[in-house]
Amino acid sequence: MKNVLTLAVLALGSVAALRAQHSPVALPRVAPSVDQILAIKRAGSPEISPDGRWVAYTIRQTNWDDNAYDTQIWLADATTGDPRQAQVGVSSSNPATRQLTNAKNSSQSPAWSADGVKLAFISDRTDKRQVYLISPQGGEAEALTSVEDGVGAFAWSPDGKSIAYTATEAKSVAVKDRDKKYGEFQVVEQDQRMTHLFTVDVATRATKPLTSGAFTVGSFAWSPDGRSIAFDHRINPELKNGGTADISIVTIADASVRKLITQDGPDTNPVWSPDGSRIAFQTSMANPAYMYRNNLIATVPASGGAPTVLSTAFDEDSAIVDWKPAGIFFAASTRTYSYLYKLDPATKAVTRLPAAEQTVNSSFSLSKDGQTIASLRADANSIAEVYVGAKRITDMNTQTVSWTTSTLDVVTWKSQDGATVEGVLHKPADFDASKKYPLLVVIHGGPTGVSRAIPFTSNIYPIDVWVPRGVLVLEPNYRGSAGYGEKFRALNVRNLGIGDAWDVLSGIDSLIAKGIVDPARVGTMGWSQGGYISAFLATHDAARFKAISVGAGISDWMTYYVNTDITPFTRQYLKATPWDDPEIYAKTSPITYIKQAKTPTLIQHGATDQRVPLPNAFELYHGLQDNKVPTKLIVYQGFGGVGHGPTKPKSNRATMDHNIEWFDQYFFQTAAGTSSTQK
């Protein structure tokens, strides 16, 4: 194995330097606790007004009493003011910066009317998600919808007179009668409730259904003249059928629907050209391996015809943001960073918009003329802030000025097969290159996720509690990760676990060769795909690790295949079903090698996980038990969504504290851990 290490230190200055900008008086710094990390207020969802003068955004804060993350909407004058703030979210020198909503539960997804007179937003203040309207000048918000099971997404019409929204069908009378007679049950793949498009008149509150039938609506966009809506749709709501997504257009006046794109593979996220003549969309262009191949940006005449692919030369996944006179704007990752790009539909030329180097830019919003851009921006020294152009609007990082934090570097190495791999290395503030440190490896999920050089990103693994204790933490962007191009994402096809393990182990070896890691003190952990890789390492290279944590990980691809809600995943990555090629399923499954396991292994899993269902956890747990390996299985209740990960503060606290306890016992070998309640 080649152990070539290149340390690509980010030229972003030290954490201490950033904090000195905000605090003229030197403050004693302490390591943050789990609860403090989880209580960080986070900015999100910047939405620039049509004229570019105002920006609405959200701030999320932790509500321990209700065990919820509550979000409220804020408003700032984007043209004036100093971002230095007396308290988080409030500008001391800009009276136009203020909290706009303050109701029970959350208010989120702000969207401006075309004239900038009203803001619409989603709120669950009355339990179900409904659309509300509020004046940017303040006052009480008014409910616009009263949908039985709540609203999904929404968008203003170009004239501001109506709003389109998606909502899931209510239970039919027949199903309600059936429930009365028999109690609730579901016939698998037959009892789906579809999501459809509706409009609501802002003045009269009158609603109108636009779609119906045996399909479910995803994303949608109004035509510039307001007469039509383009939308993507698939055969039913099940995630495994995402590859069936096509695009159609519905006419507002008579709710007539015509098909626009009907090819194989997912075709999604339609966006109209400014003149309404063409529609841009994201597509696999019928590529059956859409889970790891690049998606493409294509356009098609709004009247119908053959699509034209525009982004073939851009080697990464792209997410369309908007289409303005200057071109099609899209977001994409570039290694550990992310930026906004512009695509010229005529020449197919792609240019990256100006942004600070080595930053993570996201959540873009463009003014009507496309000249003003709001976004979130983060880097190795700061969590995400709201920016308008180069102007920083928020100052969320004042929350962490008194904390001892890590230095973040991007490191590179060569894997066993010669592939170049990157990762994010967390180092203590007083790091000494002549010392050997304990190393903990935290592996992201996906596999098409990506670890970024941003502080305080983990709410499952207590990275920022461990590093001040004198630990290095490596987050490897193993093969399959986003941001490194299609060929890199395809390197673990029929090589899951195996090639991924090469990347993790070679990263560890590279740090050992550098002389900064004690090879006798190494541990690993991860969630989802990261949990799978950790389980694979537990059954292959157990002697290397003192402790392992497997979160929502796959132990057996066969078990996974017959239980998961995304069965196409293994069919694409392993290029077979378990009936066609049982050998590849066995070769890449940790459970096949369970008798090789030796390392104490914590297993964490959600009780209702649909993505990686619970049998995977029990299979690994009993396999470890039977082979006398120290293990503990913790099954968590109350994970939201598909149950695949913690979504509430107390669940986050539990997963973090349980990892602290496990690694204190088997890695640090101390009697008690640093719990969430220690400040």
The pLDDT of residue 676 is 52
Instruction: Tell me the C-alpha distance between 548 and 665, whole Å.
Output: 12
669 token code pair:
């070998």
Q: Name residues whose C-beta falls within 8 Å of residue 590's C-beta, 6 or more positions apart in sequence.
A: 497, 532, 535, 536, 538, 539, 540, 553, 554, 555, 556, 620
pLDDT-based confidence at residue 414 (cuts at 50, 70, 90): very high
- Strands of 415-546 (E only): list them: 420-427, 437-443, 472-477, 517-527
The pLDDT of residue 405 is 84
% of the chain exceeding 90 in pLDDT: 87
DSSP character for 97? -
Asked if residue 444 lies in contact with residue 450, where contact means CB atoms within 8 angstroms, the answer is yes
Tell me the average pLDDT across 207-221.
97
Nearest to 477 by CA among 358, 359, 336: 336
Chain CA centroid to CA 20, Å: 31
Please tell me whether the peptide bond between 325 and the residue prior to it is cis, using omega within 30 degrees of 0. Answer: no
- Strands of 128-209 (E only): list them: 128-134, 142-143, 151-156, 162-168, 195-201, 207-209
Instruction: Tell me the C-alpha distance between 421 and 510, whole Å.
Output: 11
Structure pTM?
0.92
Instruction: Tell me the C-alpha distance between 208 and 190, whole Å.
Output: 27
348 token code pair:
């197919």
Asked if residue 279 lies in contact with residue 231, where contact means CB atoms within 8 angstroms, the answer is no
Q: What is the residue-averaged pLDDT of the chain?
A: 92
The number of CA neighbours under 13 Å toward the Cβ of 481 is: 29
Q: Which residues of 201-240 are buried (b: 16+ CB within 10 A; e: fewer)?
A: ebeeeebeebbeeebbbbbbbbbeebebbbbbbbebebee
Place of tokens 């399909």: 215
Tell me the average pLDDT across 188-197.
91
Question: Checking phi first, is residue 285 left (phi over 0); if not, alpha (psi -120 to 50) or beta?
Answer: left
The pLDDT of residue 541 is 84
- pLDDT over 90 at 3, yes or no: no
Asked if residue 348 lies in contact with residue 311, where contact means CB atoms within 8 angstroms, the answer is yes
- pLDDT over 60 at 25, yes or no: no
Q: Return contacts of 634-641, CB within 8 angstroms, 24+ apart.
A: 634/602, 634/603, 634/604, 634/605, 634/658, 635/605, 635/606, 635/607, 636/604, 636/605, 636/606, 636/607, 637/607, 639/606, 639/607, 639/608, 639/609
User: What domains, with CATH codes, occur in the chain?
Assistant: 42-143+356-400 (no CATH), 145-271 (2.120.10.30), 407-668 (3.40.50.1820)
Asked if residue 54 lies in contact with residue 78, where contact means CB atoms within 8 angstroms, the answer is yes
% of the chain exceeding 70 in pLDDT: 92
User: Is residue 594 exposed (0-12), middle (13-18) or buried (19+ Cβ within 10 Å)?
Assistant: buried
3-state secondary structure 282-310: EECCCCCCCCCCCCEEEEEECCCCCCEEC
DSSP character for 30? B
The pLDDT of residue 96 is 59
The strand pair at 142-143 and 128-134 is best described as antiparallel
Asked if residue 207 lies in contact with residue 145, where contact means CB atoms within 8 angstroms, the answer is yes
- pLDDT over 70 at 26, yes or no: no
Instruction: Tell me the C-alpha distance between 353 and 340, whole Å.
Output: 6
- pLDDT over 70 at 94, yes or no: no
